[in-house]
Amino acid sequence: MKAEPPHPLVGLEVTTVAINPQEGQILVALEAAPLDRIRLMKTLFLVWYRSGRPNTGPFDFQPYLYGPCALDLYTALDGLKARGLVISQRPRSSVYHLTESGKREAVTAPVDAQLRALVAEIARWAVGEGLSGLINQVYAEAPDFAAQADVSEPKGGGMVDPAHTA
């Protein structure tokens, strides 16, 4: 009887990357509801804002053309996608979902219970809200983030934030 060669993956070390606070909030939001980039951004902004705008918040929100934007959120989201925890059908404009691995990571993400509840509540609200209603709510709660906003409708109708679709 001929011995089988060892499997090529035998002996390889598998390293996992710990979920950081940014990624944890994204996972918790997507666990509550699949969200597009704009709804995810505005959800996590409202979480930060309603939490008293902590200086050490996981994202660096800045006023932008269509309200608050944190470019580091996109970096964290791309990292989660690269690790196979989050998927989307189209590169930038579709809805993001958790993979099975992402669902497992969301359960143990480093997000305390009170913050987890707030993230989930806002995500579930945002998924059912129209874009104009969502953005109007953000501006109503955080008028200082509307100061640089372009509230005009772009040609062709609909509200599109270049930062969220680029």
> What average pLDDT score do residues 108-126 get?
95
Alpha-carbon distances, residue 3 vs 6, 7, 8, 10, 47 (angstroms): 9, 12, 15, 16, 58
Query: Which tens digits make up the pLDDT trace of 128-157?
Result: 999 889 989 999 999 888 766 555 444 444
* DSSP 8-class letter at 147: T
Going from N- to C-terminal start, the domains of the chain cover: 26-148
Query: Whole-model pTM?
Result: 0.79
Round the CA-based radius of gyration of the chain to a whole number and report it: 19
Environment class of residue 128 by beta-carbon count within 10 Å: exposed (0-12), middle (13-18) or buried (19+)?
A: exposed
Q: Cα–Cα distance between 99 and 59 in angstroms, integer?
A: 23
pLDDT(84) > 90: yes
